[in-house]
């Protein structure tokens, strides 16, 4: 199942574009989120994949240079492409982006003893176009700093707009060229007016109107898909999760009966998941759907396996085996594979030294497709973040209860059962998960929480229930808040809520006699348990 190529970017040349050149900051995606939230399309490119020809062809209305972990004082540290200073478009440098801008234009940066990390305050000493209506001379503004180097002299034509205790050039500008640079991070929530500062850059300085909407994207995507696919047949790996479901509905609007969805039931789905998927797509949307019940096959291969990475490999390999069999023997003659790849997946698959990975995303995210299949990729969501996919689903008329549902990982409940997976453990976990989510919905918290789930721990504890001792499993509950799934913080439930959930699980789910709550805050990419 060799994936040959993907369709070209869907975004029309008519949309205004901002280019973000990435130097490796862990919060670069937040810059893109802020730009997108303000109705402007943007893309993130690694600094060493942003050559002059590519930048010119992209035709950005403005360019943002991100932060990064390197030091411009070190040999061979990253630099911005020279064309960004020559093409006459507005420029905003953030943290490392400021420092490389200064260094490349003739100023000076030093490493040393003036680092700032965390909350700081900037004293605004001059007014400028990017702060109009936001900050003014004499203001004392909270910002978020994260730097060990600092600018010590400015290039010709720049002036100081703001300074902090550790950075005398915390905010600088060259008004004639419309070059702006800040030492702090306006993209994070800890800089209270940072989002407005970025909006001032895109709208007031770059002149963007903010025409990036899901309604416009929907129409353009349908047109683009139709042109790419023509009369060809498309198969789509469907899980019932938001990404693959929106992909399927969008494709069905574009090409109708040329689409066939394949739903592989691994036996590790949530309670009622398979019935919901089959009913929604066969009966409601009337989309051709192959439902492959392969639970016995998956669980048989997983018997006795405890290592999480080995489990993932088995699940991935088995999924490919089943999916390929369905594609070849029950669909046949397909030319395209549709995937629910999102923009964070695209960004993460591009390193500073390598190119994009051809890894199947769709709903399982557990391995690449074999070379023997000859399919072109259709990835209509590859320009979107998760919350934009939800908005697109609404624009397609999908019910909000469905598009707002919590993410469900490809390996399914396998990564919520540490240790060996058995039918008994899965049944216990499903029942606990149903109780947990039911209480979250009753409390009106479901849409506030990004993802909530139960985990069946591979340990048993002695407990007393009534007049008898019990020796049963421990259930861990997790709930996180997030914007786009890149970073997560635990949700601070009230004790009364946790007590209510715990009591119900212990009383209603045989096999569990203790419940704990996970309050770990996790970095990008590690929202799930294993």
185 is annotated as an active-site residue:
yes
Q: Which of 185, 252, 363, 406 is catalytic?
A: 185
Q: Are 260 and 235 in contact, with CB atoms under 8 Å apart?
A: yes
Residue ranges of the alpha helices (H) in 230-290? 242-255, 273-278
Cα 198 from Cα 125, distance rounded (Å): 19
Cα 119 from Cα 142, distance rounded (Å): 7
SS3 track for 372-432: CCEEEEECCCCCCCHHHHHHHHHHCCCCHHHHCCCCCCCCHHHHHCCCCCCHHHHHHHHHH
Q: Are 203 and 210 in contact, with CB atoms under 8 Å apart?
A: yes
| Neighbouring C-beta atoms of residue 118, cutoff 10 Å | 8
> In the numeric block, which tokens belong to residue 310?
């080995």
β 2-6/374-378 pair status: parallel
Q: Which of 16, 116, 187, 383 is catalytic?
A: 187
Backbone angles phi and psi of 376, in degrees to 5: -90, 145
CA angle 134, 140, 145 (to 5 degrees): 90
Q: Are 228 and 257 in contact, with CB atoms under 8 Å apart?
A: no
Q: Is 178 helix (H, G, I), strand (E, B) or coil?
A: coil
Q: Are 180 and 93 in contact, with CB atoms under 8 Å apart?
A: yes
Cα 264 from Cα 243, distance rounded (Å): 16
363 is annotated as an active-site residue:
no
Task: Using alpha carbons, list the distances in angstroms from residue 62 to 43, 47, 179, 208, 523.
Answer: 11, 16, 10, 9, 30
Task: Using alpha carbons, list the distances in angstroms from residue 346 to 134, 222, 242, 425.
Answer: 34, 21, 17, 35
261 is annotated as an active-site residue:
no
Cα 446 from Cα 416, distance rounded (Å): 19
Q: Is 39 helix (H, G, I), strand (E, B) or coil?
A: coil
Cα 16 from Cα 38, distance rounded (Å): 12
Cα 460 from Cα 94, distance rounded (Å): 50
| Length of the chain (residues) | 530
Query: Smallest Cα–Cα separation from 219: which of 267, 254, 256?
Result: 254
Q: Which of 16, 42, 43, 95 is catalytic?
A: 95
Cα 489 from Cα 107, distance rounded (Å): 39
Q: Mind telling me the catalytic residues?
A: 95, 185, 187
């Amino acid at each position: 199942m060799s994936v040959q190529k993907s369709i070209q970017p869907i975004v029309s040349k008519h949309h205004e574009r901002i280019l973000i050149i990435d130097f490796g900051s862990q919060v670069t995606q937040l810059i893109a989120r802020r730009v997108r939230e303000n109705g402007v399309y943007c893309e993130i490119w690694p600094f060493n994949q942003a050559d002059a020809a590519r930048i010119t062809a992209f035709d950005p209305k403005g360019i943002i240079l991100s932060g990064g972990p390197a030091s411009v004082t070190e040999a061979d540290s990253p630099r911005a492409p020279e064309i960004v200073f020559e093409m006459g478009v507005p420029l905003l440098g953030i943290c490392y982006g400021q420092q490389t801008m200064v260094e490349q234009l003739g100023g000076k940066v030093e490493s040393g003893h003036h680092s700032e990390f965390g909350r700081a305050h900037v004293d605004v000493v001059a007014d400028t176009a990017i702060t109009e209506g936001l900050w003014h001379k004499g203001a004392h503004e909270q910002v978020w700093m994260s730097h060990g180097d600092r600018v010590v002299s400015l290039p010709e034509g720049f002036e100081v707009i703001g300074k902090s205790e550790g950075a005398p050039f915390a905010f600088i500008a060259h008004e004639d060229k419309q070059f702006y640079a800040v030492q702090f991070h306006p993209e994070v929530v800890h800089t209270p007016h940072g989002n407005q500062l970025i909006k001032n850059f895109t709208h007031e300085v770059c002149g963007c109107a903010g025409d990036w909407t899901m309604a416009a994207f929907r129409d353009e995507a349908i047109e683009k898909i139709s042109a790419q696919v023509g009369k060809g047949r498309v198969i789509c790996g469907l899980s019932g999760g938001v990404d693959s479901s929106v992909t399927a509905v969008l494709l069905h609007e574009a090409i109708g009966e040329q689409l066939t969805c394949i739903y592989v039931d691994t036996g590790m789905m949530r309670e009622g998941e398979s019935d919901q998927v089959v009913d929604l797509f066969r009966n409601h949307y009337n989309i051709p759907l192959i439902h492959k019940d392969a639970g016995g096959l998956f669980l048989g291969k997983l018997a006795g396996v405890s290592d999480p990475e080995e489990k993932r490999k088995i699940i991935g390999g088995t999924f490919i085996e089943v999916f390929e069999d369905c594609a070849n023997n029950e669909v046949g003659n397909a030319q395209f594979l549709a995937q629910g790849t999102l923009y964070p997946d695209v960004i993460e698959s591009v390193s500073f030294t390598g190119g994009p990975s051809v890894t199947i995303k769709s709903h399982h995210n557990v391995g690449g497709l074999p070379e023997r299949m000859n399919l072109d990729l259709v990835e209509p969501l590859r320009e979107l973040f998760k919350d934009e996919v939800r908005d697109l689903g609404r624009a397609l008329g999908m019910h909000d209860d469905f598009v707002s549902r919590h993410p469900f990982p490809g390996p399914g409940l396998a990564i919520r059962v540490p240790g060996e997976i058995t039918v008994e453990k899965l049944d216990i976990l499903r029942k606990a998960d149903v109780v947990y989510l039911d209480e979250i919905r009753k409390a009106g918290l479901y849409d506030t929480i990004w993802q909530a789930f139960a985990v069946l721990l591979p340990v048993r504890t002695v407990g007393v229930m009534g007049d008898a001792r019990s020796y049963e499993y421990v259930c861990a509950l997790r709930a996180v808040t997030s914007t786009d799934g890149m970073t997560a913080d635990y949700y601070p439930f009230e004790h009364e809520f946790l007590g209510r959930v715990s009591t119900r699980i212990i009383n209603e789910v045989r096999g569990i006699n203790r419940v704990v709550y996970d309050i770990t805050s996790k970095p990008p990419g590690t929202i799930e348990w294993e």
